[in-house]
Chain A
Amino acid sequence: MFTVLLAIAILVLLSLIFGAILGYANVRFHVEGDPIVDQIDALLPQTQCGQCGHPGCRPYAEAIANGEAINHCPPGGQATIQALADLLDVEAVPLDGDHGAESAKRVAVIREDECIGCTKCIQACPVDAILGAAKQMHTVIADECTGCDLCVEPCPVDCIDMVEVGVTAKTWSWDKPQGIAATSLNIIATDRQAEVAH
């Protein structure tokens, strides 16, 4: 009987000690914010376009953390869905067409001589990528533009175009070879007669 009581007492004591340690650790090493939301947010393209139905990427990240589908972000496209699926360990599903289609990267360009300087586009731009002042010609800082489209609608004179960012020699990247059984034209080292050097 005593041994049983002793065992119980020891276990209770131990659990109290560990509980205290855990409790302390919880306070001491408390992480601010919601790490999973941060992780999801980091995977989203940050275009801030609102096509997902949320006012920006972070709200959508929060919604995903609360169980919303991961396929509502057209700018991110399939790559983002895949990354989200990997992170959350869920099935990767195709992009939900209701929210828009994946499109090539674009930037806004203001036809400057038509701009009347109404500043409406500035107010619409989520990343402050438009420069201008009332009654002055406005222009888009192409490097900062996320191509979210939000400035096109408010423009009263329709002088904003979304222009596809073409591939230049500097941004071009190599294709993936076709895979097994395909000949690739770009690989040159062919005239092989020699042996590996030793």
Chain B
Amino acid sequence: MSAVNMQTANVFSFHGGIHPPENKAQSLQLPLGRPSLPSELILPLGQHIGQSSRPLVKVGDKVLKGETIAINNGFLSSFLHAPTSGTIAAIEERLIAHPSGLSDLCIILIPDGNETWTKLEPLSNWQDISKTDVLAYLSEMGIIGMGGAGFPTQVKLQGAHKNPLTHFIVNAAECEPYITADDMLIREKTLELVLGIEILQHLVEADNVVIGIEDNKPTAIAALKSLLTKRNSKIQLAVVPTKYPSGGEKQLIQLLTGKEVPSGQYPADIGILCQNVGTCVAVHDAITLGKPLISRFTTLTGDALKNPQNVEVLLGTPVAHLLDYADSEQKKLSRLIMGGPMMGYTLDSAAVPIVKTSNCILAASKKELPPPAPEQACIRCGMCEQACPASLLPQQLLWFSKSQEFEKAEHHNLFDCIECGACSYVCPSSIPLVQYYRHSKSSIREAREANVKSDLAKQRFEARKARQDAEAAEKEAKRLARQKATSSKATDAKKAAPAKAAPTATAAPASNDESKKLKVDIAIGKSKLKKLQKQLLEAQENEHVEEINSLQLQVTDQEKAIASLEEQLAQVPSAAPVAPVENTAKASPAPVSDELKKAKVDVALIGVKLKKLQKQLSETPDDQELKDKISAFETDLKAAQDTVSKLSENTQPSANTAAAEPKAVISDELKKLKIDAAIAKAAVKKVEKALKKAEEIQAPEIESIRQQLQEAQQRADELEKALANPETTAPKVAAAKAEPTAANLDADAAKKRKIDLAIAKAGVKKAEKNIQLLKEQGKDEAEINASEWPSKLKEAQDKLAALEKEQAAETTKSPATTEASAPSTPVATENVDADAAKKRKIDLAIAKAGIKKAEKNIQLLKEQGKDESEIEASEWPKKLIEAQQKLAALEAEESTSATSVSTPVEKTAAADSEAKVEPEMDLTTQIKKEKIAVALAKAQINKLNKRLENSPEDADSINQEIAATEQRLQSAETLLEKLIHSQTNMQENR
């Protein structure tokens, strides 16, 4: 009865195939072995096809056997589990079993020897819960196809739902010579295998379930047969004749169903699913025992092993450990192969680990696997075509691969080649055909990927261009719209003005009418101008460069229009001397204040333009034209500022004379004040920004920027005060106005110096770069010296030094002036302490920067091959020492003042919470700075090390430098620690 139920499937055949010597008996002499725990397990994160897993553990973590140590990273990825209990020693690059011999990221696990299992949670209700949940569970158990490619099983099972399955095929063919791991697995775990198949069948619900097995495994066949009969199972057993490569997925499908998987399609497309026996057992272990995939059966074989056998081995076990276990003879070992002799690949190192897909380690002797004969020309014998199980034309493919005609190779179905090696095996010319195909395939794949990438790049490029065009168009449209609005408003006003004027001024002379009209126009134009200026201000604050440009244009346009109108207006009264009295009274103050306004606008405009040019200049420091322009603008600016101060003086009396309408004047003044205040605030903001930036990059010009900031703040404060009580502040305003211009001049000079400095620095950099380039190009010293660059470098350095000196002098001068001016401003009294601390810090930073620069320059000289004496002769060592001394002095000062400053602050903290925030802020910024310093030092060490590698002849000097830098790093680190400590202290205190 049971014998009748036990069904045997029909067996078909496939084209080609070969009969290499089987060599399977060797590894079946001994029973299944279980090697001891190795001293470390190496678990690559990419054991499967698709994205590498993401590690869940950290170095030093203790893990239990079966614990998840890495999770999937996307759809086509898998989980990884600890094969035994122990400690994670590292997550690092290690050699992996791969034909490339490259390394990959691995988790290194040191076993503790206890083999303590984590809590196992079998999925006992797999029959009741949804299949998706079961699939998700399988994914979490790290189950992947153990036959070869390592395709995540749940993905394959999901794919099988596309079409109704006619066949679920279990691949037990194991056709490759030498390998007996599946054979042993079936013998040892027959029940688990069958239960696993049943679970899978429950998941996929195929019409037929067939186990395909080659007839060279009689023991396994018998075991399966008896079990299937006993269980009265519906699973069919198909015994296929031994022929390589019947274990290929497509070949086995053809053998068992007679169907061919169409080119470019998957078995699932024709309703067939294939699973390896190892996978079925793993599925069983995961679901009924809750054990993740942490071990596998692997064949250890080859003549170089005294005890070839199958082993159940933990994943991550190094091959060397297994070779020891099987008593390898180093003398005999000529090639170590992962996988079988047909489809495997040579391992360069025995340090690589066993992974989920490693089914065999072949330690072959020279006699067993002699080096292949040299390749000869193809004689077109057609043997390969006879042998090809995929019915391809290998000689044709070879031809196309050799001539790199990949497109034609693809047309000849290159991608249907399963790389079985049958063609290479039979080729009388010993042509490594598979090698050629692999090369072609990877080239084609690379080209495809490159294509995808370049398409993407193109898309993104075009999208960006479209976006930019749209932005530009939008701006243009807005500009046009605005212009139109202005002109239409103006014309409207023009039209409206006479209408309005008509009833009131019927008796008035025509000239008066005209002047009125003009005045209205001017008023409208002015309000427009005001609006534009406001927008400009906003734009400047937000740093919208393009907007600023277009706004500026508009402002100038508007100004011109107003000017011309005013001219006309001026002409009108002279043409009509009998103008009404009140008109002149109104008009006379207007031109002055207008002129003042205009002059101010000029100043602002020129300032902005100047700034822009300076920016440009810092980008292209060599542009003489720019420099000329800048100086021209600067003179303009000065002239404009002069007129402003002159005019503002004039305004005072005129305002007095215009006492007839004092309110209007005051409100006008008020408006002006407001605008000034806004401008001042914007200036403060901008300077603050600059300061921040400078701090971040540790620029030496921090000091002057700070000064600027202070001035700007002062000005803003004053203006605001003035704004608060406008009536009384008229004279003050004038003073405030006069002051900033002076300050501006100072700041301008400082700026100019800075720009010069930056230019000089850039020049030095460029010269250095060019010299470096020449060196790289292999030019020798003499040639380099003959070139203009060293002299240029020298020049630039000299200039830089001179400028720096100047700057230093200036900075020493300027604190004095600020200090002198500080007491006179009552606003800053409470800030003085903090200011002093800040200044000290800035001095410190400057000193540090000086040291750095000196060191760099010395280094540079060394690089340039100057000897010690020359270096000594140069100014730099001296400077270095000076700077170091200064730094030390400053640091001492700082530490004393830090205590003295911090105590009062803490005392007054309750009274003034703002004051308290400030030191903390300083601390954090300082910590940040220190961190940057540490990072910089590290980077420098790295760079130096790299250089050391590249130019061992300079080893001495570089080593010295490394030591110096390390010292610096250390000191910076200790400082950082201290700072962090004090910060935490402060926080605790609070």
Please report A residues at the B interface, Cβ cutoff 8 Å.
Answer: 41, 44-48, 56-57, 111, 113-114, 116, 126-129, 134, 144, 146, 156-157, 167-170, 172-197
Contacts and interface: CB of A to CB of B under 8 A. Distances in A.
A175 B439 contact: yes
B99 A186 contact: yes
A129 B460 CA distance: 9
Contact of A169 (B96, B345, B443, B543): B96
B98 A169 contact: yes
A174 B931 CA distance: 45
B247 interface: no
Contacts of A44: 454
B439 A177 contact: yes
Interface stretch (B204-212, B420-428, B711-719, B742-750): B420-428
Contacts of B461: 46, 48, 56-57, 126-127
Nearest to B371: A183
B46 A170 contact: yes
A47 B270 CA distance: 41
Contacts of A186: 99, 345-346, 432, 435
Contacts of A157: 697
A196 B426 contact: yes
B20 to A, nearest CB: 6
B371 A185 contact: yes
30 contacts: A44-B454, A46-B457, A56-B461, A114-B936, A116-B693, A127-B457, A127-B460, A129-B460, A146-B453, A168-B104, A169-B103, A174-B435, A174-B442, A176-B401, A180-B374, A180-B375, A186-B99, A187-B432, A188-B341, A188-B342, A189-B342, A189-B422, A189-B424, A190-B341, A190-B372, A191-B370, A194-B19, A194-B20, A196-B18, A196-B386
Contact of A45 (B435, B454, B464, B693): B454
B346 A188 contact: yes
B372 A174 contact: no
B425 A189 contact: yes
B102 A172 contact: yes
B375 A181 contact: yes
Contacts of B443: 173
B18 A194 contact: yes
Contacts of B96: 169
B464 A128 contact: yes
Contact of A113 (B376, B435, B454, B932): B932
Given A176-B436, A182-B374, A190-B341, A144 B931 contact: no
Contacts of A181: 374-376
A188 B98 CA distance: 15
A188 B103 CA distance: 22
Contacts of B342: 188-189
B446 interface: yes
Contacts of B375: 177-184
Given A129-B460, A188-B369, A191-B368, A113 B931 contact: yes
A169 B100 contact: yes
Interface residues on B, range: 35 or more
Chain A, interface SS category: loop
A17 to B, nearest CB: 40
A109 B814 CA distance: 41
B372 A196 contact: no
A197 B21 CA distance: 12
Given A57-B458, A196-B18, 17 more contacts: A45-B454, A127-B457, A128-B464, A144-B456, A146-B457, A168-B104, A172-B98, A174-B435, A187-B434, A188-B344, A188-B346, A189-B342, A190-B341, A194-B19, A194-B21, A197-B16, A197-B387
Interface in B550-607: none
Nearest to B425: A189
B762 to A, nearest CB: 11
Interface string B438-482: 110111011000100111111011011000000000000000000
A169 B46 contact: yes
Interface string B347-359: 0000000000000
B460 A183 contact: no
Nearest to B697: A157
Interface in B93-109: 96, 98-100, 102-104
Nearest to B340: A188
Interface in B355-390: 368-377, 383, 386-387
Contacts of A178: 375
Given A170-B46, A194-B19, A180 B376 contact: yes
B337 interface: yes
Interface string B236-248: 0000000100000
A46 B16 CA distance: 45
Nearest to B345: A186
Interface of B: 16-21, 46, 52, 96, 98-100, 102-104, 243, 337, 341-346, 368-377, 383, 386-387, 401-402, 421-422, 424-426, 432, 434-436, 438-439, 441-443, 445-446, 450, 453-458, 460-461, 463-464, 543, 693, 696-697, 931-932, 935-936, 939
Most buried by B among A129, A157, A174: A174
Nearest to B386: A196
A57 B459 CA distance: 12
B460 A188 contact: no
A177 B438 CA distance: 10
B432 A184 contact: yes
Contacts of A187: 372, 421, 424, 432, 434-435
A162 to B, nearest CB: 15
Nearest to A113: B935
Contact of B387 (A45, A134, A193, A196): A196
A184 B346 CA distance: 12
Contacts of B98: 169, 172
A193 B21 CA distance: 7
A62 to B, nearest CB: 14
A65 to B, nearest CB: 17
Contacts of B931: 113
Contacts of B435: 174-177, 184, 186-187
B341 A191 contact: yes
Contacts of A114: 932, 935-936
B464 A127 contact: yes
A114 B936 CA distance: 9
A46 B456 CA distance: 9
Contacts of B346: 185-186, 188
A192 B243 contact: no
A188 B345 contact: yes
Contacts of A167: 100, 102
- Which of A129, A173, A179 has the most chain B CB atoms inside 10 A of its CB? A173
Contacts of B421: 187-189
Nearest to B443: A173
A16 B71 CA distance: 74
A183 to B, nearest CB: 5
A18 B538 CA distance: 67
Counting from the closest, the 8 A-B pairs by CB-CB distance are A173-B442, A46-B454, A187-B432, A172-B100, A174-B438, A189-B425, A127-B460, A194-B19
A184 B432 CA distance: 7
Nearest to B341: A188
Contacts of B446: 173
A180 B343 CA distance: 22
Q: Which of B243, B371, B461, B932 has the most CB of A within 10 A?
A: B461
Nearest to A179: B375
A128 B102 contact: no
A193 B19 CA distance: 9
Contacts of B543: 134
A51 to B, nearest CB: 15
A113 to B, nearest CB: 6
B276 to A, nearest CB: 21
B399 to A, nearest CB: 13
Contacts of B422: 189
A167 B374 CA distance: 29
B240 to A, nearest CB: 13
Contacts of B371: 183, 185, 190
